[in-house]
Amino acid sequence: MNTIPSFLKTIGQFCISISLFIIVWEAAVFFSGTPAYLLPPPRHVGRALMEMFTDGSMFLHVFVSLRRFAIAYVISCTLGILLGLVFGWFKVVWALVEPIVLLLKPISPVAWTPFVMLWFGLGDAPAIFTIGIAGFFSMLLATVGAVSNVNTSYMYVAQNFGLSKFQTLRKIVIPASFPYIAQGLRSALTASWIFLVAGELMGVTTGLGFFINDARHVLRSDLILAGIVIIGTIGLLLDKLLQYLEKLVAKKWGLGI
């Protein structure tokens, strides 16, 4: 008896889940009598999405937001991984830096807004900074933890084979740390994507964050929810893409994730 392919099963479960959510949403709005301007029903949000598709505004805002996010995410993760490898490898340095990192990590990126505006002015830079710093600390701490907790037996193997420190780092430490670094990449992605809207409230005239704020000014709650739906959908797709890439790298290194 043929079984249903796993990806088709996953898609089916996803469609059922979303359908149930829409039904409950529609029923809640209908039976509660909530005005559409307070909570638009799904059909209104669907019309708003079609409106965005028709006039082409959605493609512009999505493209600009993805560009800002990609720049911020790549920079923050690159810095987080590189510094994490250094701090995790040199524990004395991490002992000095850790209190500063733990002090800065809980500060919301939005709290830096006044300084960011003074430092970078208007345009893409403040948004990129806000989006990037949201994911930087997650990536840094994940990498430090991964490197610091590499199985000591791996290090003995490296010594027995006469590997240099750089070779040990490249051939032993990084592959062994990869599962935890991959988790850090996903955490950083989520954190950065969450602060996309906040970052795009500062002196920009395009992007999904600007779009939602602009819809708020004209009291278009249906467009606000349409923007939120798009942000959630893209966030889901980005996370799934990262999972797929993680599996490819893990398969190449024989990690069996």
Q: What is the pLDDT of residue 204?
A: 82
Is 16 contained in some domain? no
* Domain presence at residue 193: yes
Hey, what are 194's tokens? 């969450």
List Cα–Cα distances, 73 to 18, 57, 76, in angstroms.
28, 24, 5
Give domain status of residue 46, yes or no: no
| Counts of helices then strands in the chain (DSSP H, E) | 12, 0
- Number of compact structural domains in the chain: 1
Within a domain: residue 163?
yes
Whether residue 14 is contained in a domain is answered as no
CATH number at residue 79: 1.10.3720.10
What is the C-alpha to C-alpha distance for residues 231 and 212, in angstroms, rounded to an integer? 10
How many residues appear in the chain?
257
Terminal-residue alpha carbon distance, the chain: 29
Amino acid 67: pLDDT: 94
CA 77 to chain centre: 11
Average pLDDT over residues 184-196: 90
Over residues 43-56, the mean pLDDT reads 86
For residues 80-100, average pLDDT: 90
Split at pLDDT 50, 70, 90, the class of 158 is: confident
Residue 183 counted as domain residue: yes
What range does the domain containing 83 cover?
59-252
- Whether 41 is covered by a domain: the verdict is no
Question: Can you tell me the distance from the alpha carbon of 104 to that of 123, in angstroms, rounded to the nearest whole number?
Answer: 25
The token pair that represents 222 in the structure block: 């249906």
Question: Mean pLDDT throughout 82-105?
Answer: 90
In this predicted structure, the answer to whether residue 192 has a pLDDT above a threshold of 80 is yes
pLDDT in tens, 15-29: 888 889 889 988 888
Top pLDDT among 121 and 128 is at 128
- b/e per residue, 35-61, with b = 16+ CB within 10 A? eeeeebbbebbeebbeebeeeeebeeb
Is residue 4, in this structure, part of any structural domain at all? Answer: no
User: Confidence class of residue 66 from pLDDT cuts 50, 70 and 90?
Assistant: very high
- Residue 202, burial from CB neighbour count under 10 angstroms (0-12, 13-18, 19+): buried
For the cut 70, the answer to whether the pLDDT of residue 6 exceeds it is no
